A and B are shown apart, each in its own frame.
Chain A
């Protein structure tokens, strides 16, 4: 018994009180800010440099659904592009993930696109089934971490379950490999309606660095309505948590 008490004493308090406002280290690569003074010439240069074509070569905006957060554009043009440590980058439409030059403020969901029944039914409890379809196991580990002793997402009644029959929605990681496409579809169909779809990580949202590979099959994404996009490479647990809380309109 003495050993257990000692472990608990050293373990201390790991619980994060406020998942909405928890600070992460300054260097964390979150929401980018692009100067409104970025020139056409500079835009052309950084868009050519981007490994995943996330920077629009005309407008200079960054699509966080494609961005792998390597920050190379910012290293190249530190005065014009910087990455803040703001992890509130989830969105509920592809357009809501686009950061335009001059945009400073936090990113918000497009309220008009949230399905009303989702909030009504799932606000009190949301059970999710995760499917990795070509994911590299980093976003998967971060999703697992949302339920650990630090983040404890379970405090809101939100957690991952084993059976799709028990789930209210699906969380997909990975660019969706051709070999996993059918299993993903079967799992999704096994979830009773109404149900939600969350894409977790850049690979899932756009294919990321795997975009264009003949071994991936993204028909699933075109076929169904996506309720939440969580950018990241991998996603940060707080990005996922805050995205889901926003979707369900839970203030925290």
Chain B
């Protein structure tokens, strides 16, 4: 038996003093991580390293879904040259985090099955590794061939490279090389040091999740500065987050239809998405909600006129969306392309630590709104829907179900919002952060859990900022889902996950 040596914190609670986080011997660290993660109700939120002049410190944060808590513990290393035993063979969800640490610091993990660069970050330890010499897997065989796709793709999307090893039309293996979108955003959180600059940065981590990431950042700042926010603001933030989820889920349904050449479904859903993002624009002047979420308050408090408009738009959306999805998911021509294609099994999802919508479509109940509630979800409890099959059809249906849920949530939240006293508080930019702290903020964005972590130095300046987009876990899910599929099914598999390139590359 191992001894429990971690601290337990709540999402978005007051920050911990860094010195309270236990520093374990590496063997003990590994034993504890592996033992904890045997439980399905726990998964790794992030595992990352912070470099200081004295040492390298590694923080591991594990979400305990059954107890609404986050378990934090660490280990440290004085000599970077010393390799560490890899946790990945025992606990695969660490694979991407160990790769990231290896790339950034040069610390090697012995026994890691694919210790390869993650994103070719600007500050990587080994500059001789470049986008051009990524060590792809290959299989020597006259029967097999390789197909390379990207970084520039056919559509108007972000860049990434996909390398398939195929037997005829069948995909044996897919390897995904990312990093093209790397903008050095984590470092910019330190070098661009005004509060407003950090807000703008948070909205640009992944522009399709502006509200989700801006909320994760604002929560983190409010936690580090001990700022109280009003009930009104908490409700408005949840409404904004659900509008974002709604718009993307409807847009994804359109894109899935587009990929199987079902035009009626595509155009009807595209038009519906437009009405939702135009409603967001009516609220804050931006179709993606940029500028809406700020620490402490908002420049765009909800008013009755906008609230009424949201209610009206949603009422017509729910009717129109149900009409069109009833048809989409009853058409043989569509179903034959979605059904049983691109399966991510529950087992695989658990193994790689899949999160969010994709995990829920594979029967894994991971939803931060439920398990680590934040903002008004603390009071207004939601019941996430899950499906079992984990194929393209399940991920499509998952979106349809979540559209219905989000609309119900928004309707109810607006009712509650109308009862609350309003003070329309403005954003707070001249906050003072508590010194020597460590804070975690998690938000369930439309893709899944968005985590922001920060530490402050002795003067209350942010000394390290870490971002984890849900795509970090889920790109591996896509690679697994396309195995043994026809290569021509790759586009719908990809679309059904709709992962972020820039959120991954940072």
The yes or no verdict on A and B being binding partners is yes
**Residues B158 and A7 in contact, CB atoms below 8 Å apart:** no
Q: How many residues of B contact A (CB 8 A)?
A: 67
Q: Closest B residue to A10 by CB, please name it.
A: B320
B14 at the interface (CB under 8 A from A): no
A residues in contact with B320, CB < 8 Å:
7, 10-11
CA distance A189 to B120 in the complex (A): 25
**Residues B502 and A149 in contact, CB atoms below 8 Å apart:** no
A92 at the interface (CB under 8 A from B): no
**Residues B156 and A130 in contact, CB atoms below 8 Å apart:** yes
Q: Mark A182-209, 1 if CB is under 8 A from B, else 0.
A: 1100010000000000000001000011
**Residues B154 and A139 in contact, CB atoms below 8 Å apart:** no
**Residues A210 and B183 in contact, CB atoms below 8 Å apart:** yes
CA distance A24 to B154 in the complex (A): 31
B:327-350 near A, CB below 8 Å: 327
Q: Mark B152-174, 1 if CB is under 8 A from A, else 0.
A: 10111111000000000000000
A:135-158 near B, CB below 8 Å: 135-145, 148-150
> Which listed segment binds B: A34-42, A105-113, A173-181?
A173-181
B residues in contact with A242, CB < 8 Å:
none
CA distance A166 to B496 in the complex (A): 28
B:259-298 near A, CB below 8 Å: 264, 267-268, 270-271, 274, 278, 281-288, 290-291
**Residues A179 and B180 in contact, CB atoms below 8 Å apart:** yes
B residues in contact with A162, CB < 8 Å:
154-155
A residues in contact with B157, CB < 8 Å:
132, 137, 140
Given A7-B268, A141-B208, A212-B191, are A68 and B183 neighbors across the interface (CB < 8 Å)?
Answer: no
> Which listed segment binds B: A56-64, A69-77, A115-123?
A69-77
A14 at the interface (CB under 8 A from B): yes
B184 at the interface (CB under 8 A from A): yes
A residues in contact with B158, CB < 8 Å:
132, 135, 137, 140
**Residues B192 and A139 in contact, CB atoms below 8 Å apart:** no
Given A27-B284, A28-B281, A187-B152, are A134 and B502 neighbors across the interface (CB < 8 Å)?
Answer: yes
Q: Closest A residue to B153 by CB, please name it.
A: A162
Q: Closest B residue to A150 by CB, please name it.
A: B274
A25 at the interface (CB under 8 A from B): yes
Q: Mark B180-201, 1 if CB is under 8 A from A, else 0.
A: 1111110110011010110111
Given A14-B271, A135-B158, are A209 and B179 neighbors across the interface (CB < 8 Å)?
Answer: no
B299 at the interface (CB under 8 A from A): yes
**Residues B268 and A209 in contact, CB atoms below 8 Å apart:** no
CA distance A175 to B201 in the complex (A): 13
**Residues B270 and A213 in contact, CB atoms below 8 Å apart:** no
Q: Which of B157, B158, B505 has the most CB of A within 10 A?
A: B158
**Residues A209 and B200 in contact, CB atoms below 8 Å apart:** yes
CA distance A51 to B156 in the complex (A): 29
CA distance A49 to B430 in the complex (A): 12
The one of B131, B156, B323 in contact with A10, judged by C-beta atoms closer than 8 angstroms, is B323
**Residues A213 and B184 in contact, CB atoms below 8 Å apart:** yes
**Residues B267 and A138 in contact, CB atoms below 8 Å apart:** no
A residues in contact with B156, CB < 8 Å:
130, 132, 140, 143-144, 160
CA distance A234 to B287 in the complex (A): 9
**Residues B181 and A180 in contact, CB atoms below 8 Å apart:** yes
The one of B152, B184, B192, B207 in contact with A131, judged by C-beta atoms closer than 8 angstroms, is B152
Total A-B contacts with CB atoms under 8 angstroms apart:
199
**Residues A144 and B200 in contact, CB atoms below 8 Å apart:** no
Q: Closest A residue to B426 by CB, please name it.
A: A75
A residues in contact with B278, CB < 8 Å:
25
**Residues A4 and B264 in contact, CB atoms below 8 Å apart:** yes
Minimal beta-carbon separation of B477 from chain A (angstroms): 19
**Residues B122 and A214 in contact, CB atoms below 8 Å apart:** yes
Given A11-B320, A162-B155, are A71 and B291 neighbors across the interface (CB < 8 Å)?
Answer: yes
**Residues A233 and B180 in contact, CB atoms below 8 Å apart:** no
Given A148-B274, A177-B181, A216-B183, are A29 and B291 neighbors across the interface (CB < 8 Å)?
Answer: yes
Q: Closest A residue to B196 by CB, please name it.
A: A51
Q: Closest B residue to A75 by CB, please name it.
A: B299
Minimal beta-carbon separation of B75 from chain A (angstroms): 29
CA distance A11 to B251 in the complex (A): 15
A236 at the interface (CB under 8 A from B): yes
B residues in contact with A27, CB < 8 Å:
281-285
A6 at the interface (CB under 8 A from B): yes
**Residues A177 and B182 in contact, CB atoms below 8 Å apart:** yes
**Residues B288 and A234 in contact, CB atoms below 8 Å apart:** yes
Minimal beta-carbon separation of A134 from chain B (angstroms): 5
CA distance A243 to B120 in the complex (A): 36
Minimal beta-carbon separation of B244 from chain A (angstroms): 12
The one of A7, A29, A51, A213 in contact with B187, judged by C-beta atoms closer than 8 angstroms, is A213
The one of B154, B184, B282, B327 in contact with A25, judged by C-beta atoms closer than 8 angstroms, is B282
A residues in contact with B404, CB < 8 Å:
none
Given A51-B194, A51-B196, A160-B156, are A134 and B181 neighbors across the interface (CB < 8 Å)?
Answer: yes
Minimal beta-carbon separation of B280 from chain A (angstroms): 10
A133 at the interface (CB under 8 A from B): yes
A215 at the interface (CB under 8 A from B): yes
The one of A136, A142, A179, A216 in contact with B204, judged by C-beta atoms closer than 8 angstroms, is A136
Q: Mark B197-216, 1 if CB is under 8 A from A, else 0.
A: 10111001111101000000
Q: Mark B37-65, 1 if CB is under 8 A from A, else 0.
A: 00000000000000000000000000000
CA distance A121 to B188 in the complex (A): 43
B residues in contact with A223, CB < 8 Å:
none
Q: Closest B residue to A190 by CB, please name it.
A: B152
CA distance A236 to B231 in the complex (A): 33
B139 at the interface (CB under 8 A from A): no
B residues in contact with A143, CB < 8 Å:
156
**Residues A137 and B208 in contact, CB atoms below 8 Å apart:** yes
Given A70-B200, A150-B271, A160-B156, are A138 and B151 neighbors across the interface (CB < 8 Å)?
Answer: no
B residues in contact with A251, CB < 8 Å:
none
Minimal beta-carbon separation of A230 from chain B (angstroms): 14
The one of B131, B181, B183, B282 in contact with A213, judged by C-beta atoms closer than 8 angstroms, is B183
CA distance A213 to B182 in the complex (A): 10
**Residues B207 and A234 in contact, CB atoms below 8 Å apart:** yes
B389 at the interface (CB under 8 A from A): no
CA distance A178 to B121 in the complex (A): 10
**Residues B327 and A7 in contact, CB atoms below 8 Å apart:** yes
A52 at the interface (CB under 8 A from B): yes
Q: Which of B131, B205, B251, B502 has the most CB of A within 10 A?
A: B502
Chain B positions within 8 Å of A, measured between CB atoms, are 119-122, 131, 151-152, 154-159, 179-185, 187-188, 191-192, 194, 196-197, 199-201, 204-208, 210, 251, 264, 267-268, 270-271, 274, 278, 281-288, 290-291, 299, 316, 319-320, 323-324, 326-327, 426, 500-502, 505
Q: Could you jot down 8 A-B contacts, CB within 8 Å?
A: A75-B426, A129-B152, A134-B182, A139-B207, A145-B274, A214-B184, A215-B183, A234-B287
The 5 closest A-B pairs by CB, nearest first: A138-B207, A215-B184, A136-B207, A162-B154, A215-B122
